[in-house]
Amino acid sequence: MHRVLQQPFKTAVLILVWGWLLLLVLTPNLLVVGASVMTRDPGTFLSLPLNLDSYRQLFDPLYLDVFLNSLYMAGMTTVFCLLIGYPFAWALSGLGKQRQTLLIFLLIVPFWTNSLVRTYALKLLLATNGLINNALLGLGLIDEPLRMLYTEGAVVIGLVYLLLPFMILPLYSVFDDLRKELLMASHDLGAGKLSTFLHVTIPLTLPGVLAGVMLVLLPAMGLFFVADILGGSRNLLVGNVIKNQFLDARDWPFGAAASILLTVAMAVLLFAHRLSQRRLGDEARA
């Protein structure tokens, strides 16, 4: 009590932030867990008895297919982001400091622009009568317009476009640290370029890669509006399934269970990220 009085400011701040997080993060998430084990009710959304039916439903071959497909699309998105982002971050970190600042700024600008509007802009390009088809037809490269819009490919393109900066930024920050010190050292010790890349660069950038993967893979499964706009309103992503359960089909337990699946995926990725950081820390000490 004495200490509380001594530090009223500290106490007040802690109560405020803990209160906020408990009330608006922890409680709601517990509610979702609760909802996932209840029974669907057409009138009140949820009712007793408690059961695990909705989890069983998750493993119904049909929905399992949706999840696997969603994971596949998110995986493709992540792979493309990594393939584009890794060399990008490396090239960026090799430039002069002032240029780096400018280019990072240019990278963030789209991220600060409304994501719906950017998704819509892609539609202008990908549509059958869109600009890409018009350009290709005009150049005589194709005879028939390509059907790109409302395909899974279009959704992946949209996701890569929206999420690329989230892959590049963590990668850039590890490359930036790494570039000067370690590469030089290993080079001095006579290691070849390829060997430096395989044994030094890749392991040292692993935490950045994992951070990037985390920042891309999870949202890629949830961004339902990208699938709606570019994928033709089919249930292509887990996000679409979850949204439908809450805003259309009214099967809350199932929607809650699907969302818990995403949370579990996040936990696994967070764990992997921590592990890689710790291993790196150990190696640095050794």
Partner 1 sequence: MNRWLPKTYLTLVYVLLYLPILVLVVFSFNSSRTGYRWGGLSLQWYESLFNNHAMVQAMWNSLWLALTAATISTIIGALTALALHRYRFRGKRVLRGMLFVVMMSPEIVLAISLLALFLLVGLQLGFISLLLAHVTFCLPFVVITVMARLSGFDESLPEAARDLGASDFTMTRTVLIPVIMPALLAGWLLGFTLSLDDVVVSTFVSGPSYEILPLRIYSMVRVGLKPEVNALGTLLLVFSLAMLMLSQWILTRSKR
Partner 2 sequence: MKKLALAGLLAATLTGCSSQEEPQVLNLYNWSEYMPQEVLDRFEEETGIQVVYTTYDSNEAMYARLKLLDESGQYDLALPSTYYVNKMRKEGLLEKINHEKLEGFEKLDPELVNLEIDPDNQYSVPYLWGTTGLAYDASDVEGNEVKAWADLWDDKYEGRVMLTNDMREVFHIGLRVLGHSGNSTDPEEIKAAYEKLTELMPSVRTFNSDAPRMPYLEGETDIGMIWNGEAVMGEEDMPSLEYVYPEEGIIVWLDSFVIPKNAENAEAAHQFISFVMRPEISALISEDIGYATPNLAARELLSDEVANDRTSYPTPEDLTNAEFQKDVGDDAMQVYTRYWEMLKSGQ
CB of 88 to partner 1, least distance (A): 5
What whole-number distance in Å separates Cα of residue 11 and Cα of residue 2?
12
- In the list partner 2, partner 1, none, the entry touching 183 (Cβ below 5 to 8 angstroms by class) is none
Helix (H) or strand (E) holding 7, with range, is: none
Q: Name the 3-class secondary structure at 40.
A: strand
C-beta separation of 116 from 230 below 8 A: no
Structure tokens at 236: 């292509």
Count of residues that interact with partner 1, criterion CB under 8 A: 80
Structure tokens at 262: 């995403």
The residue behind tokens 């963030």 is 108
Residue type, 230: L
CB of 18 to partner 2, least distance (A): 11
What whole-number distance in Å separates Cα of residue 209 and Cα of residue 73?
18
CB of 138 to partner 1, least distance (A): 12
Binding mask 34-73 for partner 1 (x = CB under 8 A): -x---------x----------------------------
Q: Which of residues 148-207 bind partner 2 (CB under 8 A)?
A: 149-150
Count of residues that interact with partner 2, criterion CB under 8 A: 28
- In the list partner 2, partner 1, none, the entry touching 166 (Cβ below 5 to 8 angstroms by class) is none
Helix (H) or strand (E) holding 94, with range, is: none
- In the list partner 2, partner 1, none, the entry touching 38 (Cβ below 5 to 8 angstroms by class) is none
Q: Which of residues 69-108 bind partner 1 (CB under 8 A)?
A: 84, 87-88, 90-92, 94, 103, 105-108
Structure tokens at 55: 């989890």
CB of 203 to partner 2, least distance (A): 38
Which of residues 111 and 246 has its CB atom nearest to partner 2 in the complex? 246
- In the list partner 1, partner 2, none, the entry touching 7 (Cβ below 5 to 8 angstroms by class) is partner 1
Respond yes or no on whether the N-terminal peptide bond of residue 49 is cis (omega within 30° of 0). Answer: yes
C-beta separation of 274 from 210 below 8 A: no
C-beta separation of 158 from 226 below 8 A: yes
Q: Which of residues 213-242 bind partner 2 (CB under 8 A)?
A: 232-235, 241
